Structure 1
Amino acid sequence: VMGLIFAKLWSLFCNQEHKVIIVGLDNAGKTTILYQFLMNEVVHTSPTIGSNVEEIVVKNTHFLMWDIGGQESLRSSWNTYYSNTEFIILVVDSIDRERLAITKEELYRMLAHEDLRKAAVLIFANKQDMKGCMTAAEISKYLTLSSIKDHPWHIQSCCALTGEGLCQGLEWMTSRIGVR
């Protein structure tokens, strides 16, 4: 009987699925990041209409990742994915200075949503391999991340094409599990 109870408890803690939404403006690199997590390779992508969903397993931790299309016409439907979300991965195109204000607006709209009140936020400052890109620190300052007090957050420089920085982001997420 004890063995059965232990096995049940173990499966509860080790195979729990954690819902993640991957959001950001169109062309930020969301789908490229998702498939880099999944297959460790660059997959040719086209604009996501709707969503892609994949399970990513990191050290026995199961993440159900929803990559949601970022075109302007799709952003109003992001909230249909919020229920039971534990992590928001916000992908920022570090080259796209012109649209950083829109990213900021979308971030704070999400953080104000009731269904995301307990979600932790990982910001990927993507395209760090590009000449003239903003650093993670510049993006953090522009998005006023230091003002976010009611959500754990972390910003991580990355390059979706090479996979650089992605593991560090996932490690931060796994370190947050159970820290509520």
Structure 2
Amino acid sequence: MGQRGSTQPEVRVLLLGLDNAGKSSLLYKLKINKFVGTVPTIGFNVEMLDVRKNKKNFALTVWDVGGQAEMRRHWRSFYQDTAAVVFVVDSADRSRVQEAKRELENALRSEQLRGRPLIVLANKQDVDGAMTVSEVKDFFNLRRICAERDWYVQPCSASTGFGLEEALKRVSHMTKLPSESAAHVKENIKGTVNYIRAKSVRR
């Protein structure tokens, strides 16, 4: 990862998931390319990752928020200005996937996250019996709950590094840069103005 330039654009990504899903381990494997055994995150961690999209360098500011039950009620405090949501699932712990599904659905109902892309990381694929990508898609009913947003499921392993490079590329590809969002807003304004003008002419 290169040094972040002063003029480099930044986008905010929210890293969510239940406790013990492997969020912090994934983040530090991406950041320093080492597996870091972590303790449960009380509060949050913030790291910046340098990525590239459309021949432009930009920084992902990743907010890794604790996943314990008492922390989840504070998740909404981090939703503002989020460009994408990365939700980590312990795909080897089938006893908690229903709990993970409920928390993901609760988060995606927030108006502040409306339309934001979702990348689900099916972590711990190195463990025997881990859920496959197809199982995760079907169990979480992603086609239904993500009908109005872009979404993707990436199999990975924080301990081995499997799938993490692909995960980072997917996040950077699906995240809108500030310039892209501004262009989208300008296009919407332009379309509205043209519509008003057209109606005025018809009168």
TM over 0.5: yes
Of residues 124, 127, 133 in structure 1, which corresponds to 2:124? 127
Deviation, 1:53, is 0.3
Deviation, 1:102, is 1.1
Deviation, 1:64, is 0.2
Partner of 2:167: 169
Partner of 2:39: 46
Q: Does residue 104 of structure 1 match 2:101?
A: yes
Contact persistence 1:86–1:118 (CA under 8 A):
no
* Secondary structure in 1 matching 2:129: coil
Q: Does residue 55 of structure 1 match 2:53?
A: no
Q: 1:142 to 1:46 in 2, by over 3 A?
A: same
Of residues 60, 63, 67 in structure 2, which corresponds to 1:66? 63
RMSD: 1.3
- Distance in 1 (alpha carbons) for counterparts of 2:164 and 2:115: 23
Deviation, 1:133, is 0.9
- State TM-score, norm by structure 1: 0.89
Deviation by residue 1:114-172 (Cα, 9 ceiling, x = unmatched) = 11113111100000000111111101100001112111110000001111111111111
Identical-residue share of aligned pairs (%): 39
- State TM-score, norm by structure 2: 0.79
Matched positions, count? 167
- Distance in 2 (alpha carbons) for counterparts of 1:111 and 1:38: 26
Aligned pairs (5 A) from 1:59-98: 59=52, 60-98=57-95
- Distance in 1 (alpha carbons) for counterparts of 2:171 and 2:88: 15
Structure 2: state its 5+ residue gaps. Answer: 1-6, 182-203
- Distance in 2 (alpha carbons) for counterparts of 1:103 and 1:145: 13
- Distance in 2 (alpha carbons) for counterparts of 1:177 and 1:80: 20
Structure 1: state its 5+ residue gaps. Answer: 1-10
